[in-house]
Structure 1
């Protein structure tokens, strides 16, 4: 492609990655530089005219620059000319009228997974599980040595590189997260949309953090914090556009129904979510969120299409995550228990019974050390052997 767009939340490492990519001598231009931002607004064509291997960072700050990039590409379609980074999902921004369709490929950089924090260039064992028959899962996961880890420590530090890797003290991380939120509210958010009542927005962020793993009910959320439903909808969309909030659609055989069923709410980073909510002790939902972060990093790095969904029936039976690849469904249940039991996997059996040959055996990810089949429908696996 003539252009590659790397998007993700602020401070996930996009600029560091972009500076290290591509041929030596590549020009690097950041719209965080106010002089460059002003030039991009007044004369965007001058920034990209005759460009050969140029990186444009934080392009969401001036969406009009994308039209100039389009014009440059249409006059010269050599691959790899433009590397664009942005701290917002350009395809979800209302002010972006140019998507570079047919001219750019899009990549998402999520916060660091546990495997990446350990120095391994992967997001988990998900692809291995997809490619291996169910009967071979236990041998696959037990063959390699794995480092057990307390999931609560990982949840507290999250996946942003600075607090996850470089800061070891909880107090220092809290200062970092507080500064991150202030910067987001006072600068990044205003670049996306005008928000007059920042205290209301921050209150919604806190309420959303306290509802991790729950179904999204905008009316109830608005009632709890004193905001009308349309405002709640707008604020949630802004958080999702910023890659801070993640909504997981519901699985249904009828793909149209997935758009109408209630999604589940998670955050892009557990450390930030805990800080915003004022919670010192992670809950079971935060372990779910950690597993999801690993799944998202894997999904958005693979070439084949995969969907991450959740499943819930009208009588309350539910499975935390369902990986859909082609005609195959892999259900995953996450429990914070250290002693998984057969009853913990009962909804995995229900899911498999309902979906027949499409459904593979399920995974019961837990906080203990047991790696064993609980029955033909579910393998109990320590979360750290997969995520």
Structure 2
């Protein structure tokens, strides 16, 4: 059993908010986490799964049915299947506002679920549950294994590597053929498959909509719509460019990353560690993996950017902490990294409070001035909490 890092946050929010939304991709353990609340929670829990026809029938007259559970924490799984419930939940909460009336589990972001944000505004706290992060599994794995397999529980815990990537293949196909259509989107499965493969090929690069549009033979608005769906269903992430109070000519398009490294490696057909290290995707894959692990540790309270000027100055990741501190990060797939002039030039532009080069393993050490070379584990477990509390 892997202990999920967000359990404490989930319990804290349930103790205050009348509705909590636990969102994330399918098969990351949302249901397991919700059912694990029994024994840790003061209210009795009743659970409904909207994937089951029997539970959907119970909610045909949802108002009458839910009123009998006013003293419970009502867990509604796959809530995006019935977005019409949200106005009713708002009304029930307003009639009897108390903590933990509803726990909603969903496989799509609030932006993809029609009317959810508007209907429950001021009443709901959203928490994102993603696949296993590296700190959650470091006691039972190596960082190389976690990077290769990704964090989806069924993929990561598979007893043999072929089973890992067989599961990932099925997951990708199921996502394309079923999940987005269940949200009411009419999609071309072939187009979405081709787009995913192309995103894997350009993972970590600056987004060029016109190139994707031309290669796929569809309009730029169509590409943008599909990218929005991939983002809203937690498959890809856009990393925004940083341009605040900087007077230089900057690259202003976002960079694209597939969020789970195992999904990326399956799409790129790099299904062994040796194959990964010899594949052109390796450097960008490691970069995206590091960014995603940081995101899973700090959540949505921090801001994430990259910085690049047309003159060549670049920072792979610029973090801005809730306390306003800037953290400039160069990401290297080497334990003996060299740092470019462009990185030092960017530091002069941004005046970052902290500067790191993140490497896979090895000892952390100061390089020069305020720059530290730091392995990923040390950075996630020791350095980030220090930055947040200073």
Same structural fold, with TM-score higher than 0.5 when normalized by the shorter chain? yes
Consecutive unaligned residues in structure 2, runs of 5 or more: 1-16, 277-281, 381-390
The alpha-carbon deviation at position 250 of structure 1 amounts to: 1.1
Higher mean C-alpha displacement, 49-58 vs 91-100: 91-100
TM-aligned CA deviation for residue 119 of structure 1:
5.1
Shift in Å at residue 36 of structure 1? 2.2
CA contact (8 A) 2:366 2:372 kept: yes
User: How much is the aligned-residue C-alpha RMSD, in angstroms?
Assistant: 2.3
Using the TM superposition, give the Cα deviation of residue 24 of structure 1 relative to its aligned residue in structure 2, in angstroms: 6.4
* 2:257 maps to which of 260, 266, 274: 266
1:367 aligns with 2:360: yes
Distance 2:312 2:48 in 1: 51
Deviations 1:324-348 (A, max 9, x none): 023321011101123113xx25334
Match of 2:386 in 1: none
Helix, strand or coil at the partner of 2:241? coil
> What corresponds to 2:11 in structure 1?
none
C-alpha distance in 2 between matches for 1:90 and 1:44: 21
Counterpart selection for 2:319 from 317, 323, 336? 323
Displacement of 1:99: 4.2
- Alpha-carbon shift at residue 47 of structure 1 (Å): 4.1
Q: Deviations over 1:248-283 (max 9, x none)?
A: 11112159x9xx921111122110111123234330
TM-score by length of 2: 0.83
Deviations 1:136-162 (A, max 9, x none): xxxxxxxxxxx9x453x3222100111
Structure 2 CA distance for partners of 1:47 and 1:5, relative to 1, 3 Å: farther
Q: Which residue of 2 aligns with 1:134?
A: none
Q: Could you say if the C-alpha distance between residues 297 and 47 of structure 1 is closer, same or farther in structure 2, counting changes exceeding 3 Å?
A: farther
- Is 1:312 equivalent to 2:308 in the alignment? yes
User: Is the partner of 1:330 in helix, strand or coil?
Assistant: strand
Which protein has greater RCO, CA pairs closer than 8 Å, 6+ apart? 1
Match of 2:32 in 1: 16
Match of 1:48 in 2: 66
Correspondence for 2:9? none
Residue 290 (structure 2) aligns with: 291
1:376 aligns with 2:376: no
Alpha carbons 2:206, 2:254 under 8 Å: kept: yes
Question: CA contact under 8 A between 1:110 and 1:268: conserved in structure 2?
Answer: no
Task: Note if contact 1:111-1:268 (Cα within 8 Å) is conserved in structure 2.
Answer: no
* Structure 1 unmatched ranges of 5 or more: 121-146
Report the counterpart of residue 123 of structure 1 in structure 2. Answer: none
Runs of 4+ off more than 4 Å: 94-97
1:216 aligns with 2:207: yes
Give 1:13 deviation, angstroms.
Answer: 0.9
Q: CA deviation at 1:228?
A: 1.7
Q: 1:368 to 1:76 in 2, by over 3 A?
A: closer
Distance 1:99 1:362, change over 3 A: farther
Q: Hey, what does 1:37 align to over in structure 2?
A: 56
**Cα distance in 2 for residues equivalent to 1:38 and 1:267:** 37
**Aligned pairs, number:** 347
